Amino acid sequence: MRETCRSEIDLGAITIQNNKTTFSFSLKVKYSLSIIQSKMYFCFLSLVLVLSFVCVVAGDGCKQNWEVSVQDNVKFKLYSCDKKIGPFPAKIPGDVHLDLMNANIIKINPYYRFEEKNLSWVVQQCWVYQSDYFSLPGNYDPTCDLRLRMKGVDAVGIISINGQKIFQTVNAHREHDLSIPSSALKLEDNVLTIELQSALTYTKQQASQYPYVVPATENYNVWAEPTSRNFLRKAGSDFGWDWGPAFVNTGLTNGLILHQSANAKLDGMAVEQFLSDNMQHASLEIRVSLSVSDFSQKQLPLQVMIDGRVSLRSSLDLSTCKKMICMLNVGVVSINNPELWWPRGYGEQKMYSIQIQFLDGSYQSLTRNIGLRKVQLVQQPIPNTKSNDISFYITINNRSIFMRGANFIPIDSFHSRVTHNDRSYIFHAAAESNMNMLRVWGGGIYQPDDFYDLADKFGIMIWQEIMLACALYPRNEAFLLEVEEEVRQQSLRLGTHPSIVVWGGNNEDEVALNWFQSSQKNRDLYVADYSKLYADTVFPALMGVLGKSSITSSIVWVDSSPSNGLISTDPYVKIWGQASTAQQGDVHFYDYSCDCEDFRSFPEAKFVSEFGFQTMPSFQTYESVLSPSDYDVDSPLLQFRQRHEDGNNQMQSQIIKHFSLPVRCSSDTNDQRSFDMYLYLVGIQQSRCYETAMNRWRQLRGMDNDAKKYTMGILYWQMNDIWQGPSWASIEYGGRWKPLQYAVKRVFDMISLSISYLKTTDLKGKSSGLIEVFVVNDILDLFASAEIVIELKSWKITSNIKSETSLFFKDTVIIAPERSNLVTSFVLDEDTLSNAGCNFGTCYIKATAAIIELVDPSGKKIHAPAWEENVLVATTALTTMKDTELLSSPHAIFSNFHQVSDKTIQFDLTINVTSPFLFLEYTNEEFASKASAAEGVFGRYAGWFSDNNFVAEGGETYRIAYTSFASHITMDDFQKHLQGRSLQHVYDCNLPFFRPSY
Ligand code: BMA
CB 169 within 8 A of CB 156: yes
Q: How confident is the model at residue 303 (pLDDT cuts 50, 70, 90)?
A: very high
CA distance linking residue 787 with residue 812, whole number of Å: 4
What local confidence, expressed as pLDDT, does residue 705 receive? 52
Top-confidence residue, 797 or 877: 877
Q: What's the 750 CA to ligand 1 centre distance in angstroms? A: 27
CB 161 within 8 A of CB 184: yes
In sequence order, what E strands does 197-308 have?
239-241, 244-246, 251-252, 256-261, 264-275, 281-292, 299-306
The residues annotated with a catalytic role in the active site are 508, 610
Report CA 663 to chain centroid distance, whole Å.
37
What local confidence, expressed as pLDDT, does residue 708 receive? 61
Q: How many CB atoms lie within 10 A of CB 522?
A: 12
Ligand 1: atom nearest CA of 612 is 6
pLDDT tens per residue across span 431-480: 999 999 999 999 999 999 999 999 999 999 999 999 999 999 999 999 99
Counting every residue written for the chain, the total comes to 998
Instruction: Indicate whether residue 465 lines ligand 1 (CB < 6 A).
Output: no
**Residues 409-412: contacts with CB within 8 Å, 24+ apart?**
409/237, 409/241, 409/243, 409/244, 409/441, 409/443, 409/444, 409/718, 409/719, 409/720, 409/722, 410/235, 410/237, 410/444, 410/445, 410/722, 411/720, 411/722, 411/937, 412/722, 412/723, 412/733, 412/937
Q: What is the CA radius of gyration of the chain?
A: 30
What local confidence, expressed as pLDDT, does residue 322 receive? 76
Q: What's the 241 CA to ligand 1 centre distance in angstroms? A: 8
Instruction: Indicate whether residue 154 lines ligand 1 (CB < 6 A).
Output: no
Report, as an integer, the average pLDDT of 527-554: 97
Q: How confident is the model at residue 539 (pLDDT cuts 50, 70, 90)?
A: very high
Q: Which residue lies with its CA nearest to atom 12 of ligand 1?
A: 242
For residue 394, list its beta bridge partners: 377, 401
CA distance linking residue 425 with residue 110, whole number of Å: 23
pLDDT at 802 over 90: no
pLDDT tens per residue across span 150-205: 999 999 999 999 999 999 999 999 999 999 999 999 999 999 999 999 999 999 99
pLDDT at 941 over 70: yes
- 7 SS3 class: strand
Ligand 1: atom nearest CA of 241 is 10
Helices (H), 573-701: 619-623, 636-641, 647-658, 672-699
In sequence order, what E strands does 323-398 have?
325-336, 352-358, 366-370, 375-378, 393-396
CB 718 within 8 A of CB 409: yes
Mutate to test the pocket of ligand 1, among 221, 470, 609 (most ligand atoms within 8 A of CB): 470
Q: What's the 217 CA to ligand 1 centre distance in angstroms? A: 10
Top-confidence residue, 319 or 131: 131
CB 878 within 8 A of CB 940: no
Report, as an integer, the average pLDDT of 806-819: 95
Percent of the chain residues topping a pLDDT of 70 = 91
CA distance linking residue 127 with residue 100, whole number of Å: 11
What angle is formed at CA 330 by the lines to CA 328 and CA 334, rounded to 5 degrees? 145
The distance in angstroms from the start CA to the end CA of the chain is 68
Spatial CB neighbours of 130, under 8 Å, sequence gap ≥ 6 = 76, 77, 78, 79, 87, 191, 192, 193
pLDDT tens per residue across span 706-723: 546 689 999 999 999 999
Spatial CB neighbours of 649, under 8 Å, sequence gap ≥ 6 = none
Residue among 351, 332, 313 at smallest CA distance from 272: 332
Residue among 439, 435, 493 at smallest CA distance from 459: 435
pLDDT tens per residue across span 112-154: 999 999 999 999 999 999 999 999 988 899 888 899 999 999 9
Ligand 1: atom nearest CA of 243 is 10
Q: What's the 653 CA to ligand 1 centre distance in angstroms? A: 20
Residue among 55, 75, 68 at smallest CA distance from 149: 68
